[in-house]
């Protein structure tokens, strides 16, 4: 069963397009997705997931399980940066340790989108409230990472971090705002009217995801070139820690929900690392942190490991534990 699940995921067209992107860089091809097109596709994917989540949420009733699930999701994004920071600061600077810890505590919207596609391949559908939980998990890790940097940074000449402005920036981040806004619109939309855009939100989704992952493959291939100059530690961390987080929270999620799809999404969110919201926040607040370190770790190592080995592993974990 393990082998079949792995083969099924490895032969997923979206993943194969990701591999094609990396291969294009290795072959020094001029293949690229225009930046404006790439931005549009990422906006489409977030909009589609948010809207479909809102539609699903409109059929759900708010229960104690949903409330506990929201609290559990926020707890994940607080706990992961707390423990990873102390591992990272043994080998890296306080600024890099805080930025990387925040990235691994926060979530990747693209990994989430790929996980939804994986559930679809297993004939399972996403519960609407999990979209809201994903959006709620973006900000806490950024705040924790910045607080840790403030506490452990002994350099008096460093610019002090303005926590209120960080909270505002993380909540108004484009990806967070779009997915929450789309969720709300999907929740409020008239079901009959919503049917009118169903071909756009549902039927085109997998095709756009494949093109987006092709672009991610090209970006990852370029980032990977300079990454190994930092030594082996960042690679080992980026490969091992997400798998560990995913497995731990796949098991712990059984405390708040028995639903396999919810538990799988919790595992994926715990294992994913942000390479959009966190880098944007760190660029403004912690310019001393090296984007040449935390970006390739999240995008070029953790992301491909999650969508190849991670997802089949987390799915097996929630089925058997």
Q: Is the pLDDT of residue 156 over 70?
A: no
Q: Which of 128, 127, 114, 109 is nearest to 177 (CA)?
A: 109
Q: Which of 213, 195, 208, 224 is nearest to 292 (CA)?
A: 224
pTM: 0.83
CA distance 255 to 234: 32
Element (H, E) at 183: helix 174-188
Q: Is the pLDDT of residue 121 over 80?
A: yes
Q: Is the pLDDT of residue 117 over 70?
A: yes
Q: pLDDT per residue over 10-37, tens digit each?
A: 777 878 898 899 899 999 999 999 988 8
Q: Is the pLDDT of residue 216 over 90?
A: no
Report, as an integer, the average pLDDT of 193-221: 86
Report, as an integer, the average pLDDT of 204-220: 87
Say what the pLDDT of residue 45 is. Answer: 86
Q: Is the pLDDT of residue 281 over 80?
A: no
Q: Is the pLDDT of residue 287 over 50?
A: yes
Q: Is the pLDDT of residue 5 over 70?
A: no
Q: Which residue has the higher pLDDT, 125 or 223?
A: 125
pLDDT above 70: percentage of residues in the chain: 91
Which stretch of 77-81, 110-114, 135-139 has the lowest confidence by average pLDDT?
A: 135-139
Q: Which DSSP symbol is given to 161?
A: P
Which stretch of 43-47, 217-221, 278-282 has the lowest confidence by average pLDDT?
A: 278-282
Q: Which long-range contacts (CB under 8 A, 24 or more apart) does 229-236 make?
A: 230/292, 230/293, 233/91, 233/92, 234/92, 234/100, 234/293, 234/296, 234/297, 234/301, 235/297, 235/301
The model's confidence at residue 255, banded by pLDDT at 50, 70 and 90, is: very high
Residue ranges and CATH numbers for the domains of the chain are 2-20+42-320 (1.20.1530.20)
Say what the pLDDT of residue 1 is. Answer: 45
Q: What is the CA radius of gyration of the chain?
A: 19
Say what the pLDDT of residue 3 is. Answer: 59
């Amino acid at each position: 069963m393990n082998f079949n699940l792995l083969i099924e995921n490895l032969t997923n067209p979206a993943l194969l397009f990701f591999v094609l992107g990396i291969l294009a860089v290795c072959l020094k091809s001029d293949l690229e997705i225009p930046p404006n097109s790439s931005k549009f596709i990422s906006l489409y994917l977030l909009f589609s997931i948010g809207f479909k989540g809102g539609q699903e949420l409109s059929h759900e009733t708010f229960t104690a399980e949903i409330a506990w699930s929201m609290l559990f999701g926020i707890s994940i994004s607080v706990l992961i940066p707390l423990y990873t920071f102390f591992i990272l600061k043994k080998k890296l600077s306080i600024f890099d340790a805080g930025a990387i810890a925040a990235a691994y505590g926060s979530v990747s919207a693209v990994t989430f989108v790929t996980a939804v596609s994986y559930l679809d391949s297993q004939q399972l559908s996403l519960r609407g409230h999990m979209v809201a939980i994903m959006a709620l998990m973006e900000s806490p890790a950024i705040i924790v990472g910045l607080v840790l940097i403030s506490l452990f940074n002994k350099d008096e000449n460093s610019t002090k971090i303005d926590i209120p402005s960080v909270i505002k920036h993380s909540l108004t981040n484009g990806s967070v705002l779009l997915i929450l806004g789309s969720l709300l619109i999907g929740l409020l939309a008239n079901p009959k009217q919503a049917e009118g855009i169903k071909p756009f939100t549902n039927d085109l989704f997998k095709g756009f995801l494949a093109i987006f992952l092709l672009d991610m493959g090209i970006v990852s291939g370029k980032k990977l070139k300079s990454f190994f100059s930092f030594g082996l530690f960042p690679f080992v961390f980026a490969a091992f820690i997400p798998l560990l987080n995913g497995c731990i929270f796949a098991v712990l999620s059984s405390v708040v929900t028995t639903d396999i799809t919810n538990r799988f999404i919790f595992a994926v969110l715990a294992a994913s690392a942000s390479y959009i919201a966190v880098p944007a926040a760190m660029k403004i607040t912690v310019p001393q942190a090296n984007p040449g370190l935390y970006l390739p770790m999240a995008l070029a190592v953790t992301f491909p490991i999650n969508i190849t080995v991670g997802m089949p592993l987390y799915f097996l974990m929630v089925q058997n534990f």
